[in-house]
């Protein structure tokens, strides 16, 4: 499974790179604070909404601690998507939050 640290993600965003971040936490968790520009697809809905994602686009999966995003990464990778898990999740995130 591909992984990226929260610091790597933050540095790439701050360098102006356009990243496709999918936050798999529940809606209330995301409303409490999230990385600007994320798409929220709760883990329980991922299997029903994965048609919204493009297999040719790289995605970075995010959650609170990286457990749920790890599950999401493994699931989507098995379906042929280009995905990486943000290790440490929002607990490790030190960048901007909305």
Q: Which two tokens stand for residue 79?
A: 């379906």
Please, which pLDDT band fits residue 65 given cuts at 50, 70 and 90? very high
Contact 46, 72 (CB under 8 A): yes
Residue 35 φ then ψ, to 5°? -70, 130
Q: Which fold has domain 2-92?
A: Oxidized Rhodanese; domain 1 (3.40.250)
Specify the pLDDT at position 12: 97
Active site residues: 63
Instruction: Give pLDDT tens digits for 29-51.
Output: 999 999 999 999 999 999 999 99
CA atoms of 9 and 49, how far apart (whole Å)? 24
CA atoms of 67 and 71, how far apart (whole Å)? 7
Specify the pLDDT at position 50: 96
């Amino acid at each position: 499974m591909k992984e990226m640290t929260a610091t790597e993600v933050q540095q790439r965003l701050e360098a102006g790179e356009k990243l496709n971040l999918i936050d798999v936490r529940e809606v209330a968790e995301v409303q409490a604070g999230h990385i600007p520009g994320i798409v929220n697809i709760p883990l329980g809905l991922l299997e029903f909404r994965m048609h919204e994602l493009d297999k040719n686009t790289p995605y970075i999966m995010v959650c609170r601690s990286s457990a749920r995003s790890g599950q999401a990464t493994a699931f989507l990778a098995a379906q042929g998507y280009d995905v990486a898990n943000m290790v440490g999740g929002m607990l490790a995130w030190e960048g901007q939050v909305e």
